[in-house]
Structure 1
Amino acid sequence: MSTQEKTNQSTKKLTTHELTLTALMAAVLCILGPISLVIPVSPVPISLGSLAVYLAVTVLGARLGTLSCVIYLLLGLAGLPVFAGYTGGAQKLLGPTGGYLIGYIFLAAIAGVFIGRDAGAKGKQYALALLGMILGTAVLYFFGTAWLAHTAGMGFYAALGAGVIPFIPGDLAKMIAADLLGTTLRNRLLQAGLLRGRKA
């Protein structure tokens, strides 16, 4: 095996620090995810789960951020009460709001592509991370809305009005908070050598 191949192989392996950080962010998802508020205009509750996803992907990037979301969903699928309202199980993922939960994976994968893109301009780094979260959330909205419409017997636009429109202001606030806090944490982890990648 050549030196280049060995280097490529080693970079694909997760370090102990990265595994620990991934597990920690999955734990944050499990803590924040169940915290929710039911609103009368929608079958979809306001949840802090999306805030945890924004934070996880901003801190960890695409690969580890997405992995933390997958771990969270698997724990919920196993029956642990980590979904909104302290619920869990396959019936939650297959229910009307399940599309938004599965959408966390798309959100993390898409937003993560933009994390650490420009190491030379700190302001641009924040802007790119925010752009990534907006695009990832748009895909989550689409997937979740389509699933809500299918399972609840609603028209797509009716599902959009119930499952997306009321949540846009709050989600934008979560993105900004996660961008500011997450990028700061990421840079410090990179400086400490606990993560691999580029910093702002």
Structure 2
Amino acid sequence: MKDHLVHFPDFHKYESNGLSVYLESGNGNQLPLLTRKYIQNLLKVNMEGPYGPEWPSEEKVKRREMVAPEARYIFVRQSSNDFIAKKNMEQDAGVECTHEAHNEDRLLGFVHYRFVLEEDLPVVYVYELQMEPSVQGKGLGKFLMELIELIACKSQMQAVMLTVQKANKFALAFYRKLRYVISSTSPSRVDPLVSLCL
């Protein structure tokens, strides 16, 4: 019997559709203060609309979830050298720049996931997949979900699960395009007004 090697794509960086970024991992209980603030701000920008009046109470829950020891992260960063070079080119072209350069490489998004038991099945549960509006629609979200699926496979998990607000039509379309389906354990099967579990 001949051995077949499976070649996985390089998941340390993403270079496509005008983006050149790299990935790094992190744990919820070890997040630096600036990273925690970034996550809080990006969540508010992306999620306040879909949650509507429920956002203030949901935001408190998310702040607790994000720093839990079992929280795992994949961060998307743009090298400060790439970012500065891009901004310099934009300034030379007369484009107004408002972002200040920092010593750390610029964060563009993140995935927050955990290894959990769902109905006695070990799964990777995606708590958040959040991207800056400027990098949405460029294939990065799909790339990160492929990485989560690879992590689930390598860790012998039974599935990848996540929850989507019904009001978040963009996210629903994104996950359906990736062939995610409503779980048989989704609360939406009992109460059609609650979020969907995919």
State if a TM-score over 0.5 links the two structures: no
Point out the structure with the larger strand share: 2
Bigger Cα Rg: 2
Larger RCO (alpha carbons 8 Å, 6+ apart): 1
If the length of structure 1 is used for normalisation, what is the TM-score?
0.31
- Higher-helix-fraction structure: 1
